[in-house]
């Protein structure tokens, strides 16, 4: 029997299946800048104040949208409306028909492989309270949008 992520679209997944699909990389928890003219999204290495940078999990997941109004809350019925997600994102990979990467916990059996593969933000971010909001431009990075090791490219 095939696993649910290979037989269901994102829209068909149950709430539990959807939540479990998250790879735990926390790249969506990075502050982003959007070019007003081109609408291009640029990632920074500055993390949301709710992110636990060691576990790559939100400290207040259930109330994150209330606590952080511009939180990127992914919804299965609005994936096309989401800002650019990194190519490594499990939601994006499934939406594009690429399947899950070998380091994804549903494939590897361990939530640590996202970290050991260098996909997560662990060890690569600054907390937002250490950076001036008007200085985010100085913290732009390209690594969140680059292809992962499974695509033959280094992080």
Task: Please enumerate in sequence order all residues whose Cβ is within 8 A of that of 138, keeping only pairs 6 or more positions apart, or say none.
Answer: none
Q: Would 56 be classed as within a structural domain?
A: yes
Q: Would 109 be classed as within a structural domain?
A: yes
Report the Cα–Cα distance between both ends of the chain, in Å, rounded.
Answer: 33
Asked if residue 92 has pLDDT above 70, the reply is yes
Q: Domain range spanning residue 44?
A: 4-144
Q: What is the pLDDT of residues 119-134, one digit of tens each?
A: 999 999 999 999 987 8
Q: Would 151 be classed as within a structural domain?
A: no
Average pLDDT (61-71) is 92
- Own/partner contacts of 107-112, CB < 8 Å, gap of 24 or more, are 111/24
Q: Residue 119: how many CB atoms within 10 A of its CB?
A: 27
Q: Residue 128: how many CB atoms within 10 A of its CB?
A: 20
Q: What is the CA radius of gyration of the chain?
A: 15
Taking CA atoms, 134 is separated from 31, 44, 138, in Å, by 12, 13, 9
Q: Would 153 be classed as within a structural domain?
A: no
Higher pLDDT, 133 or 63: 63
Q: Would 155 be classed as within a structural domain?
A: no
What is the value of pTM for the model shown? 0.87
Asked if residue 60 has pLDDT above 50, the reply is yes
Beta bridge partners of 47: 30, 127
Number of domains the chain is built from? 1
Average pLDDT (9-29) is 93
Q: Would 28 be classed as within a structural domain?
A: yes
């Amino acid at each position: 029997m095939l696993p649910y992520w290979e037989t269901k679209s994102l829209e068909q997944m149950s709430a539990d299946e959807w939540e479990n699909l998250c790879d735990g990389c926390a790249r969506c928890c990075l502050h982003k800048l959007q070019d007003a003219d081109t609408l291009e999204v640029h990632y920074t290495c500055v993390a949301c104040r709710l992110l636990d940078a060691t576990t790559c999990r939100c400290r207040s997941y259930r109330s994150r949208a209330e606590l952080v109004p511009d939180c990127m809350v992914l919804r299965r019925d609005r994936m096309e409306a989401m800002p650019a997600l990194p190519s490594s994102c499990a939601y994006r990979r499934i939406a594009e028909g690429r399947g899950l990467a070998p380091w994804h916990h549903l494939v590897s059996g361990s939530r640590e492989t996202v970290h050991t593969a260098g996909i997560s933000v662990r060890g690569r971010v600054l907390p937002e309270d250490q950076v001036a909001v008007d200085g985010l431009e100085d913290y732009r990075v390209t690594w969140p949008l680059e292809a992962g090791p499974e695509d033959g490219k280094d992080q």
